[in-house]
Amino acid sequence: MATSYKDLGLVNTRELFAKAVKGGYAIPAYNFNNMEQLQAIIQACVETESPVILQVSKGAREYANQTLLRYMAQGAVEYAKEISGGKGIPIVLHLDHGPDFETCKSCIDNGFSSVMIDGSHLPYEENIAETKKVVEYAHKFDVTVEGELGVLAGVEDDVKAESHTYTQPNEVEDFVKRTGVDSLAIAIGTSHGAYKFKPGENPKIRLDILAEIEKRIPGFPIVLHGSSSVPQDLVKIINEHGGKLKDAIGIGEDQLRAAAKSAVCKINIDSDGRLAMTAAIRKVFDEKPAEFDPRKYLGPARTALKELYKRKNIEVLGSAGHAYDK
């Protein structure tokens, strides 16, 4: 029998996005693959009183199992209540980069409250057809859908693209109308992973294209993927403790803050979390080589991740304090 996210205490994105667009902030969309990441995300969002989108990628489904991740998210609803004196926070369980209708359907049938159908690699008309099919199914269950137009550059395990194609503003209105999507991911120069720009390249995203897109679909929820900033202090810690990250460059936080103030209402961050955890773990391994209890390195990694996400919510996304907006 199918499981509705509504019975699990999860929410879809509709109301959260409407409030975020109106309030000039973005909802954090953080990826999780294991318990420590999930705890860090929930603790950070409870402590900053922020709504949150928990993202499950293809890599996460392969690594941790989709069913287990769904039960973990269900547990996170209770965990959030427990550590917030009973109030909880709005939590969305979202499929990140859904590759096809079947995967989206499987998530919808098994308790996800939001799905992305990533048809960005398809020819335009095929992207529309595939996205529309997912929307028609999802909306029967009040599950919200994110579509994508334009191709992000970068390589990250299972999300690969050699070069980017910016979203064409003259396509967005037609795409949104014909598919019925609830939000639209766009390509304006962000990309997945920790190597977003080459040294010497101008590390700027195209806020002018974003402005043009907003003119065509005013107030419509826009999503930014590939929005890690690759904090240089974390890269430094990693390299000082045996790592080899050369020329890792991300998106400036000032640019993301500017985007969050506009109709961008969901910002995807994964790589920065990976860097925070790696830096903390490398430091323990380097400084305490006799340590072999996983809790002694996963614990500090979890704390580092929580602190990073708290700072993002407060300083970059502006979502802090908006969990209980009316």
The tokens describing 312, both together, are 């993002």
DSSP letter for 5, please: G
- Taking the least distance from each CB to ligand G3H, the nearer of 182 and 272 is 272
Q: Which helix (H) or strand (E) holds 169?
A: helix 169-179
Rule CB under 5 A: say whether 58 interacts with Zn ion.
no
| Sign, CA torsion 141/144/150/153 | negative
For ligand 13P, the closer CB: 42 or 153: 153
312 binds ligand G3H (CB under 6 A): no
CB of 13 to ligand 13P, least distance (A): 14
Counting contacts by CB under 6 A, is residue 103 touching ligand 13P? Answer: no
The answer to whether residue 66 forms part of the interface with ligand G3H (CB under 6 A) is no
Element (H or E) spanning 256, and its range?
Answer: helix 253-260
Number of CB atoms found within 10 A of residue 120's CB = 22
Give the one residue of 94, 132, 225, 312 binding Zn ion; rule: CB under 5 A: 225
Q: Does 58 bind ligand G3H (CB under 6 A)?
A: yes
Site track for ligand 13P across 214-253, x = CB under 6 A: -----------xxxx-------------------------
- Which range touches Zn ion (CB under 5 A), out of 112-120, 169-177, 218-226, 300-308? 218-226
Longest CA span, the chain: 60
**Is residue 167 near ligand 13P by the rule CB under 6 A?**
no
Query: 189 — phi, psi (to 5°)?
Result: 110, -5
Q: Which of 262, 172, 185 is CA-nearest to residue 213?
A: 172
Backbone angles phi, psi at 98, to 5 degrees: -55, 125
Measured distance CA(151)–CA(224) in Å, rounded: 12
List the catalytic residue out of 7, 96, 109, 142: 96
Binding site for ligand G3H (CB under 6 A): 31, 57-60, 96-97, 156-159, 192, 270
Q: Which residues form the catalytic set?
A: 96
